[in-house]
Structure 1
């Protein structure tokens, strides 16, 4: 199948980790992810019911290999001093935004250029997006995952 790109936006809140965790809950509860063991292409008799918990989802061996092609494939936001690794996400800082795009405060207009920040499969990024007056408006999450 190959990796899938995904992105989400939530209203701004100071607690980026809390926003991330809330978004993951929402994606899971709304079943807004690829559930390979219950996929439509399988014969009905081979489909498994949707998992009741994220832990049950990740207990599935196929999910461990193929992922969900969603933010559920990212388990935590890492600190600025931590090295990115599989299943992690890192927030874009104002300094990084300045270095990569020449501006400290990203806006919705910068979303098409977010690909210029470091990224690879099974790793996510997030950034605070601001309005034209520089006030934070939303948190944007994006990444690539799945096989």
Structure 2
């Protein structure tokens, strides 16, 4: 199938981890992810129902290998000093934003340039987006996952 790019924006809140976890819950509850065992291309008698919990989702071997092609494939946000690892997400630092975008306060207008930040498969990034007055407005999450 190949990896898929995904992105989401949520209203700004100071608790980055809380925003991340809330977004993951929303994506799961609204079924906004790839569920291979229940995919339309399977014969109807072979399709499995959508999982009731995230634990149930990740118990399935197909999901473990192919992922969900969504933010559900990311399990935690790492700190600025940590090295990116499989299934992690890292926030864009002020220094990184300044180097890549020329500002410490990215706006929605900068989003098309986010591809210039370091990124790999099975790894996510996030950044706080600001309004024209420099006030935080949204948290933007993006990445690539799935096989």
Using structure 2 for the length normalisation, give the TM-score. 0.99
Q: What is the aligned residue count?
A: 147
Measure how far apart 1:117 and its partner are. Answer: 0.2
| Counterpart for residue 28 of structure 1 | 28
Measure how far apart 1:71 and its partner are. Answer: 0.2
Measure how far apart 1:33 and its partner are. Answer: 0.2
> What whole-Å deviation, never above 9, does each CA across 1:100-134 have from its counterpart, x for those lacking one?
11111000000000000000100000000000000
C-alpha distance in 2, partners of 1:6/1:145? 8
| Counterpart for residue 103 of structure 2 | 103
Measure how far apart 1:81 and its partner are. Answer: 1.0
C-alpha distance in 2, partners of 1:106/1:98? 9
> What whole-Å deviation, never above 9, does each CA across 1:15-55 have from its counterpart, x for those lacking one?
01000000000000000000000000000000001001001
C-alpha distance in 2, partners of 1:109/1:101? 11
Structure 2 residue 133 is matched with structure 1 residue 126: no
C-alpha distance in 2, partners of 1:120/1:95? 20
C-alpha distance in 2, partners of 1:110/1:102? 10
What is the RMSD of the two structures over their aligned residues, measured on CA atoms?
Answer: 0.4
| Counterpart for residue 69 of structure 2 | 69
Q: Aligned to 2:142, what secondary structure does the other structure show?
A: strand
Gaps of 5+ in 1: none
> What whole-Å deviation, never above 9, does each CA across 1:80-104 have from its counterpart, x for those lacking one?
1111001000000111100111111
C-alpha distance in 2, partners of 1:109/1:102? 13
Runs of 4+ in 1 over 2 A off after TM superposition: none
C-alpha distance in 1, partners of 2:48/2:84? 33
Gaps of 5+ in 2: none
| Counterpart for residue 145 of structure 2 | 145
